[in-house]
Amino acid sequence: MKAAHPNKKSTIGLKLISVIMALLLWIYIGNQGGNTPRQDTVQADLQYIHLEDGLSVKQAPSKVSVTMWGNYRGSNNITAYVDLSGLEAGTHVVPVNLEPVAGAMFTRVNPKEVEVVLTRLQQREFRVEYQVTNEPPAGYELLDLAITPDKCIVSGEDNILSQVSRVICQVNLANSTGVDSLRLRLQARDARGNAINEGLRIVPETVIVHAAVNQKMISKELLIKPQFKGSVAEGYRIKAVTIEPSEISIISKQELPAEQSEILTAEIDLAGKKQSFSQEAALQIPAGAKAYPAQVLVEISIEKIPAEESDQNEDSRARHQTTPGT
Report the CATH fold assignment for 218-309.
Answer: RNA Polymerase Alpha Subunit; Chain A, domain 2 (2.170.120)
Higher pLDDT, 277 or 75: 277
Per DSSP, helices labelled H in the chain are 6-31, 158-161, 307-321
- Inter-residue contact 309 to 235 (CB < 8 Å): no
User: Residues 44-55: pLDDT tens digits?
Assistant: 999 999 998 888
Distance between first and last Cα of the chain: 185
Please report which confidence band the pLDDT of residue 271 belongs to, taking 50, 70 and 90 as the band edges: very high
For 82-103, what is the mean pLDDT?
90
Higher pLDDT, 143 or 256: 143
Q: Global pTM?
A: 0.47
Mean pLDDT score of the chain = 84
> Does 310 have pLDDT greater than 70?
no
| CATH homologous superfamily for the domain 122-215 | YbbR-like domain (2.170.120.40)
Higher pLDDT, 115 or 251: 115
User: Residues 10-37: pLDDT tens digits?
Assistant: 666 666 676 566 556 555 555 555 455 6
> Does 204 have pLDDT greater than 80?
yes
- 119 CB-near residues (< 8 Å, 6+ apart): 55, 56, 58, 89, 157
Percent helix, strand, coil in the chain, to 5, is: 15, 50, 35
Question: Assign residue 4 a region: left if phi > 0, alpha if psi is -120 to 50, beta otherwise?
Answer: beta
What pLDDT does residue 27 have? 54
User: Residues 151-202: pLDDT tens digits?
Assistant: 999 998 888 999 999 999 999 999 999 999 999 999 999 999 999 988 898 9
List the domain boundaries for the chain.
Answer: 37-120, 122-215, 218-309
User: Residues 226-270: pLDDT tens digits?
Assistant: 999 999 999 999 999 999 999 988 887 777 777 788 899 999 999
Determine how β-strand 166-172 pairs with β-strand 122-134. Answer: parallel
Q: How far is CA 313 from CA 142, 240, 322, in A?
A: 63, 20, 15
What pLDDT does residue 317 have? 58
CATH 2.160.10.10 is held by the domain 37-120: no
- Inter-residue contact 291 to 250 (CB < 8 Å): yes
Residue 262 C-alpha from the chain's centroid: 43
d(CA 219, CA 291): 9
- Inter-residue contact 85 to 48 (CB < 8 Å): no
Q: How far is CA 299 from CA 137, 242, 245, in A?
A: 46, 5, 11
Please report which confidence band the pLDDT of residue 62 belongs to, taking 50, 70 and 90 as the band edges: very high
Higher pLDDT, 204 or 140: 204
> Does 4 have pLDDT greater than 50?
no
